[in-house]
Amino acid sequence: MEECKMPLLGDPFPEIEVKTTHGPMKLPEAFKGRWVVFFSHPADFTPVCTTEFYAFQQRYDDFQKLNCDLIGMSVDQVFAHLKWVEWINKNLKTQIQFPIIADDGEVAKRLGLVHPAKGTNTVRATFIVDPQRKIRAILYYPQELGRNMDEILRMVKGLQVATEQGVALPANWPENELIKDDVIIPPPQDERSAVERMKEYQGYDWWFCHKKLPEEKK
């Protein structure tokens, strides 16, 4: 059996031609200039996956405001996706607006989404890809545990802030227990910068300084 290797952080998202509920697409070209949350689910017409798709759709506008698109995937045929989306619309009164990839197994293999110890279905993987097509975050959930969509939304926003402002973000940002919604200044690179650091910013020490974001970035 050929080994499945998942991409690593910082790698470019692989170029793949896929079939989706919105027609054929070339990834990541189809989302050029935008952030993307690419996520796989084990199977259509399953309870946990249904709750996830409903939850993603409830936050669809929030992702769009962050210049971020969603695209789902599982090893199911297009007609199964279409019927499932129809079921969600009819029974849960929610129209899924993002495309779903119908994979024959090649995409899952390419991205390392099938873990032998968990059967033949794809795991709940999430890739956050930036406008430069670089993979910025990877999350893997087991089949029995649904994702936290608010955390994924927080990650997209946090990665955008970190990229634009050249900062790091504390635990539970923007509600950190120590520095609230402040962001962390990168460590100084020389002794002089270390001495000046505490004069310029708030902090616990020269290696732990923080500042507030401009209001428009919050």
The answer to whether residue 49 is catalytic is yes
Tell me the residue ranges of DSSP E strands in the chain.
16-20, 25-27, 35-40, 68-74, 100-102, 124-129, 135-141, 183-184, 202-205, 208-211
How far apart CA 218 and CA 213 sit, in angstroms, is 7
What is the distance between the alpha carbons of residues 69 and 127, in angstroms, rounded to a whole number?
12
Q: How confident is the prediction along the chain (218 residues), in pLDDT tens digits per residue? A: 344 567 899 999 999 999 999 999 999 999 999 999 999 988 899 999 999 999 999 999 999 999 999 999 988 889 999 999 999 999 999 999 999 999 887 888 888 787 665 555 677 899 999 999 999 999 998 888 999 999 999 999 999 999 999 999 999 999 999 999 999 999 888 888 888 888 889 999 999 999 999 876 66
**For position 48, what pLDDT does the model report?**
94
Which of 4, 49, 68, 209 is flagged as catalytic?
A: 49
Q: Do the beta carbons of residue 181 and residue 175 sit within 8 Å?
A: yes
User: Residue 154: its pLDDT value, please?
Assistant: 97
- Give residues with Cβ within 8 angstroms of 164, minimum separation 6: 217
Domains of the chain in start order, with CATH, are 16-148 (3.40.30.10), 166-217 (3.30.1020.10)
pLDDT of residue 189: 85
Residue 1 has what pLDDT? 38
pTM of the model: 0.91
